[in-house]
């Protein structure tokens, strides 16, 4: 059974690949309007989700860097908590 970290990473990777496939299909231009709208909606949903995951990862990296650089703990505690991304 994959660990939570592996599941999340695989999920991010697979969702990113799905987003890329949607973009390729939309850019090809051979898509009926109804399908185009459905794909566009899916792409926007995936994009928002991936952006959130990346933002959370960035905050986690900043927090880890702050700890490593020995920034005062009150500044580190001001960073929002994020779920375990990796």
Query: How far, in Å, CA of 86 to CA of 37, rounded?
Result: 33
How many structural domains is the chain composed of? Answer: 1
Q: Is residue 67 part of a domain?
A: yes
Q: Is residue 85 part of a domain?
A: no
Query: How far, in Å, CA of 84 to CA of 66, rounded?
Result: 17
With the C-alpha atoms ordered 47, 53, 59, 61, is the resulting torsion angle positive or negative? negative
pTM: 0.65
Q: Could you tell me the residue range of the domain that residue 36 belongs to?
A: 4-77
For the stretch 16-62, pLDDT in tens is: 999 999 999 999 999 999 999 999 999 999 999 999 999 999 999 88
Q: Is residue 41 part of a domain?
A: yes
- 19, two tokens: 């987003």
Q: Is residue 82 part of a domain?
A: no
Q: Is residue 51 part of a domain?
A: yes
Q: Is residue 86 part of a domain?
A: no
- 54, two tokens: 């990346």
pLDDT at 4: 58
Q: Is the pLDDT of residue 11 over 80?
A: yes
Query: How far, in Å, CA of 7 to CA of 25, rounded?
Result: 27
């Amino acid at each position: 059974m994959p660990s939570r970290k592996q599941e999340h990473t695989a999920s991010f990777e697979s969702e990113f690949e799905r987003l890329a496939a949607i973009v390729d299909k939309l850019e090809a231009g051979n898509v009926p309007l109804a399908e185009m709208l459905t794909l566009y909606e899916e792409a926007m949903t995936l994009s928002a989700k991936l952006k959130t995951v990346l933002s959370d990862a960035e905050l986690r990296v900043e927090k880890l860097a702050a700890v490593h650089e020995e920034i005062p703990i009150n500044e580190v505690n001001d960073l929002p908590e994020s779920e375990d991304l990796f």
